[in-house]
Each structure stands twice: as C-alpha cells, then as structure tokens.
Amino acid sequence: MANKNLIIIFTRNPELGKVKSRLSKTVGDKTALEVYEYLLNYTEKTIRNINCDKAVYYSNSIKENDIWDTSIYHKHEQKGNDLGQRMHNAFKQGFHDGYKNIILIGSDLPDISEQIIKNSMDALTQNDVVFGPAEDGGYYLIGLTKMHEFIFDHKPWSQSHLLEITLNELKKHQLKVSLLKTLNDIDTFEDLKKSSLFKIFNHD
C-alpha cells in the first residue's frame, strides 16, 4: 500500500444490452453502450493522475486489457446481492488493506472532476462521512474514514429518498457529514437530455 487514501470506482462491464437499461429503453442498446463507454473513459481520465491509490470494481468479471491500466488500478470483482452489499464489501476490503480514507464513486458522471474528488478527500480530514448528492435523490460519491455498516443495510437503492434516509440515520449516530456539489448521473433519457452529453449522442 503506497498511500493511506483510496479511490474505488464501481463499473459495469461494458457489454451490449447489459448497461444503462433505463436509458436503453429510449435510445436503444447500442447508443446506451456508447454513452456508457464514453462515461467510463471520461471517469478514467479524471481519476488517473490523482495522488492516491485506486481500485476498480467490475460488476461481473475482471478484464485485464482494457482502459483500466493495471499499473495504476487494482482490479476486483464486486461481491454481494445488492448495491449496498457490494459497496459494503468494497469498503471492508479497503479498510482491511490498511487505508484510512476511502471514497467510492460510480462511472456514469459526465461532470465529475478531479477537483471534486480532491475536495471529498479533504472533507474526510474533518468529517466522518462525505457524500456527493445526485440530482435524483441518491448519491454519486461516498467517502468514509471507518466502516459504518448501517449506511449500506436495508436502503431504498435507486429511490429518490435514499440520501435523505441515510443522512437521518447518520444524524442519529452523531456522525459528522460533509456534502459536495450536487451532480447529475446518467440513468435515464431525461438525465441524458440535461447533460453535456446530449449534443454528442442525440442522433435525431
């Protein structure tokens, strides 16, 4: 371990018909895959030069020769029955490996920036938990300084009140929380229309 800080990136394996299912209902599987591959590349470029250790967690199988350079990224497979279990297990592994500050982000954020990620690491020096709120009521980033298992248990994943419920629980546990800039992640056609990607992928 070269660094006390770790960034975890959750990705789906970019396969036709297996990514962005809600978006594909409107734009089709091919365009949905193109959008996701664009977002993957953008995420990798954004994270590549940040000074901390990095791990990419694949949705089903680890790929060796892809955009995630093994000299930069540790590679893992997500484990668990739902998103909460998968995030829990990834954080658990990171803390077991000796990291002190860990953030986890998705790979569907057209507006994520190196500065936002740096801000999240800075926030963990004075807070227990940091969230990047998503416009849909969830979160695109979570950062921890130690494991809090209740954050990942019995939560309404992909629902509009996910972050609100989680923040209320954190308040009951008297944990210090920092919130980053709210961003739009791309899950539906409406998300795509509101994003900078719409001009690139609007084939009308």
Number of domains, the chain: 1
What's the CA angle centered on 53, arms 62 and 42, to 5 degrees?
65
User: Is 175 exposed, middle or buried, given 0-12, 13-18 or 19+ CB atoms closer than 10 A?
Assistant: middle
pLDDT by position in tens, the chain (length 204)? 557 999 999 999 888 888 888 888 888 889 888 888 989 999 999 999 999 999 999 998 999 889 999 999 999 999 999 999 999 999 999 999 999 999 999 998 999 999 999 999 999 999 999 999 999 899 999 999 999 999 999 898 878 899 999 999 999 999 999 999 999 888 888 888 887 777 777 755
Domain that holds residue 92: 5-201
Name residue 133's beta-bridge partners.
Answer: 139
Give the pLDDT confidence score for residue 1 in this predicted structure: 54
- In this structure, what CATH number is given to the domain that contains residue 124? 3.90.550.10
Phi/psi of residue 130, nearest 5 degrees: -130, 140
Output the pTM of the full model: 0.92
Helix (H, G, I), strand (E, B) or coil at 177: strand
User: Furthest-apart CA pair in the chain: how many Å?
Assistant: 51
Rounded-to-integer distance, Cα 156 and Cα 172, Å? 18
